[in-house]
Structure formats: C-alpha cells, structure tokens
Amino acid sequence: MVALVTRRKAIAGAVASVIALPLVPKTPAAGQPTVHELKIQSFKFVPDRIRVRFGDVIKWTNEDLAPHTATADEFGWDTEELAKGASAEVTVVEGMETSYFCAFHPHMKGSFEIA
C-alpha cells in the first residue's frame, strides 16, 4: 500500500521542522572548541563557576554600567577593562590559572574547572 502525502501534510511537516530547529541545542562539531558565554551583572560573574576543556573559549560580556575585568588571581591572563556592553575572550590552555577576579572590584570572583 502506498502512503499518500498530501500538500497539507507536507506543509505541516515543513513548518514543524522550522519551528523545532531553534530548539535544538548548538553543540560544536567534534574537535571544535565550545564558547562559554558569561555575563557580568550586578557586580557578579554569571555564572561564577563553569567547567571547560582545553581549547574552549570563555567570553565575558559586561552588562553593568561600571567597567570590569576578568583577571587571573596571579595575573597570568587578563581581559583588560570592559566597558558596558564590551566583551573579551580567553582561550583555555594547559597550565593557565583557573581562578579570577575583577581588578576594579576585587570582591567579584569566579573560577573554572578544566575537565
């Protein structure tokens, strides 16, 4: 028996596919780094702790009015000053410091764990 595909079924299937597409989580292709997007909000790093792999990228975006940094505790890396709306990225490499703070607001702290 041959199944009959009507125009209505074909259109409904296409619409369902288009609607579902944005709901699929974006995962990097094998071997591609993951970009971890962190926000700086209300004088906090959000989230303040993440898990990463070597080669991944950590991206901070400042959503506060005040300038901020993400600076390694021992100053091994630094995003430099981030004004409101500005972003900076750091690539995770072997041996890098995993705890950081804001140079302007030392009470702001964050860290990442390398898997």
What are the DSSP E strand ranges found in 3-98? 35-41, 44-46, 49-52, 57-62, 71-72, 87-91
Per the model's pLDDT, the better-predicted residue between 29 and 43 turns out to be 43
Q: Is residue 59 assigned to a domain?
A: yes
| CATH at residue 75 | 2.60.40.420
Mean pLDDT on 24-46:
83
Q: Is residue 16 assigned to a domain?
A: no
**What single DSSP character describes residue 103?**
S
d(CA 31, CA 16): 31
Q: Is residue 14 assigned to a domain?
A: no
Q: State the pLDDT confidence band at 3, using cuts at 50, 70 and 90.
A: low
Boundaries of domain holding 102: 27-114
Q: Could you tell me the maximum CA-CA distance found in the chain, to the nearest angstrom?
A: 73
pLDDT of 70 > 70? The answer is yes
pLDDT digits (tens, 9 = 90+) for 89-113: 999 999 999 999 999 999 999 999 9
Nearest 5°: the CA angle 74, 47, 98 is 25
Q: Is residue 20 assigned to a domain?
A: no
Instruction: Note the pTM of the prediction, 2 decimals.
Output: 0.74
